[in-house]
């Protein structure tokens, strides 16, 4: 009994102190705000924002509400995080494997890339890609076209826009292709387990992914047009492209910087993962007659992934949080639009910062939730 009390009391005191400190600051903030005539509340979210945003995935202008502006910023943040994660993973895996290459030149270049990019502060890299690379790009009127339809200029990357007809049928055809691939894959596995025969699953899948959507064009009534950007004169010396899709240079610079920076860390995770598999595994696999490709695919990678996934999840989280540096180069992410402009126009610092913090927390937790689920899926199934 006495022992139990001794164990519980310090914990209760700690808990009480934590609560008191929290209460103290909340109370303090309340008193201070009251003294300065500031009212706390989230009512401002429904007010008209009256400021425009450069780039938005949903329809938005100043006549919409602050809540809508929040959504615009959130989607822009998610966009950068999504593209950044994909590119950094691709670059990271390639560089990570390249670092283990027996070819001296490839191995050294990969090592140089990793050491160079991970040791320069990210903000500087963002500034470099934005200001140095931006100045190097041509003005719209001087830009050479890429395949006659795209233009990379100081004002952005202007590419053709797809104009779809019967887009839904096209989507159904892709879904149908994916379902048949899954079915065929299962069948192929059974075939191999029962009869030892191997089906060329990759070729069949690729064929299905091409043929089914192609059919939707030929007989499904799907059609695709391109709206090509056209140059427009604004004044004697300034031009811009109209029509098509304009990708702002801010988005390009930010994604580039984030992907190149984060890829170095992912490359190291991949290298660590592969090196973590003992040599005996590869030799054993080779000795039962697997080809080098099969060794990598069936023996090394499944085990290496278990080492790679957890630290890579960290890098994904870092990339997402680092995307908030966007504010420095005018990319309208959550921090610039909501914790920047909206905060300034409303003056609701505590409310807006708390919403923004909660949002980043939710994004990060969602990413780690997905990655943990994936990690569990590939973990050793103990029986």
Partner 1 sequence: MFRYIKQLTSFVAMVAVLFAFSTEAMAKKSKTLKNTQKKGFVRCGVSQGLPGFSNADASGNWTGVDVDVCRAVAAATLGDANKVKFTPLSAKERFTALTSGEIDILSRNTTWTLSRDADIGLTFVGVNFYDGQGFMVRKDSGITSTSQFKDGISACTNIGTTTELNMRDFFTSRGISYEPVAFEKADEVVAAYDAGRCDTYTTDKSGLAAQRTKMTNPDDHIVLPETISKEPLGPVVRQGDAVWEDIVRWSLNVMIEAEEYGITSSNADSMKTSDNPAIKRLVGAEGELGAAFGLDNEWSLRIIKQVGNYGESYKRNIADTGILPDRGPNQLWTKGGILYVPPAR
Chain residues binding partner 1 by CB under 8 A are: 9, 12-13, 16, 20, 23-24, 27-28, 31-33, 35-38, 50-54, 61-62, 131, 134-135, 139, 154-155, 232, 234-238, 240, 242, 248-250, 327-330, 332, 336, 340-341, 343-349
CA distance 324 to 257: 13
Pairing assessment for the beta strands 230-233 and 156-159 based on DSSP bridges: unpaired
Distance of closest approach, residue 18 Cβ to partner 1, in angstroms: 13
Q: Which is nearer to partner 1, 50 or 192 (CB)?
A: 50
How many other β-carbons are positioned within 10 Å of the β-carbon of residue 314?
14
Nearer to partner 1, 130 or 316 (CB): 130
Cβ closer to partner 1: 86 or 349? 349
User: Minimum Å distance from CB 5 to partner 1?
Assistant: 8
Q: Are strands 245-247 and 156-159 parallel, antiparallel or unpaired?
A: antiparallel
Dihedral in degrees, nearest 10, Cα atoms 345, 346, 348, 354: -70
Closest distance to partner 1 from the beta carbon of 318 (Å): 21
User: Whose Cβ is closer to partner 1: residue 258's or residue 343's?
Assistant: 343
Q: Tell me how far, at minimum, the Cβ of 212 lies from partner 1, in Å.
A: 40
Specify the DSSP class assigned to residue 166: S
Q: Are 365 and 44 in contact (CB under 8 A)?
A: no
CB-CB neighbours of 99 under 10 Å: 21
For residues 35 and 203, which CB has a smaller minimum distance to partner 1 in the complex?
35
Shortest CB 87 distance to partner 1, Å: 23
Which of 95, 336 has the CB closer to partner 1? 336
Q: Rounded to the nearest 10 degrees, how much is the dihedral formed by the CA atoms of 72, 78, 81, 87?
A: -100
For partner 1, the closer of residues 107 and 351 by Cβ is: 351
Q: Are strands 239-242 and 150-153 parallel, antiparallel or unpaired?
A: unpaired
Q: Which of 85, 89, 86, 82 is nearest to 267 (CA)?
A: 89
Query: From the CB of 156, what's the least distance to partner 1, in Å?
Result: 9
What three-state secondary structure class fits 64? coil
**Min. distance of Cβ 217 from partner 1 in angstroms?**
33
Measured from the CB atom, the residue of 138 and 200 that comes closer to partner 1 is: 138
How far does the chain reach from its first CA to its final CA, in angstroms? 41
CB of 350 to partner 1, least distance (A): 9
| Residue 382 exposure: Cα atoms within 13 Å on the Cβ side | 1
**275 Cα distance to chain centroid:** 27
At 214, list the tokens.
């192609």
């Amino acid at each position: 009994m006495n022992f139990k009390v001794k164990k519980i009391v310090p914990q209760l005191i700690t808990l009480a102190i934590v609560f008191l400190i929290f209460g103290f600051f909340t109370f303090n903030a309340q008193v201070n705000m009251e003294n300065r005539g500031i009212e706390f509340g989230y009512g401002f979210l429904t007010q008209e924002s009256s400021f425009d945003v450069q780039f938005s995935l949903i329809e938005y202008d100043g006549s919409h509400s602050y809540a809508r502006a929040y959504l615009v910023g959130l989607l822009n943040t998610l966009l950068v995080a999504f593209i950044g994660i994909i590119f950094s993973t691709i670059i990271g895996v390639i560089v990570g494997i390249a670092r283990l290459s027996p070819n001296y030149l490839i191995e050294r270049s990969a090592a140089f890339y990793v050491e160079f990019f991970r040791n320069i502060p990210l903000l500087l890299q963002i500034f470099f890609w934005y200001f140095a690379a931006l100045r190097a790009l041509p003005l719209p009127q001087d830009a050479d076209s890429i395949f006659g339809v795209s233009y990379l200029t100081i004002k952005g990357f202007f590419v053709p826009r797809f104009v779809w007809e019967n887009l839904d049928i096209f989507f159904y055809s892709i879904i149908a292709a994916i379902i048949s691939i899954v079915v065929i894959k299962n069948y192929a596995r059974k075939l191999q387990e029962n009869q030892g025969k191997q089906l060329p699953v990759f070729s069949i899948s690729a064929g299905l992914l091409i043929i089914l959507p192609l059919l939707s064009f030929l007989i499904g009534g799907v059609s695709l047009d391109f709206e090509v950007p056209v140059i427009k004169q604004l004044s004697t010396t300034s031009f811009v492209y109209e029509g098509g899709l304009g990708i702002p240079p801010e988005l390009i610079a930010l994604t580039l910087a984030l992907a190149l920076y984060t890829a170095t860390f992912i490359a190291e995770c991949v290298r660590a993962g592969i090196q973590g598999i003992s040599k005996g595994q590869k030799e054993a696999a080779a000795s039962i007659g697997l080809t080098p490709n099969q060794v990598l695919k069936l023996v090394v990678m499944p085990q290496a992934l278990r080492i790679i996934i957890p630290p890579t999840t960290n890098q994904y989280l870092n990339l997402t949080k680092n995307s908030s540096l966007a504010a420095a180069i005018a990319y309208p992410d959550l921090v610039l639009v909501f914790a920047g402009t909206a905060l300034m126009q409303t003056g609701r610092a505590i409310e807006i910062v708390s919403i923004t913090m909660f949002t980043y927390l939710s994004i990060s937790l969602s990413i780690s939730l997905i990655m943990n689920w994936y990690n569990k899926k590939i973990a050793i199934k103990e029986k």
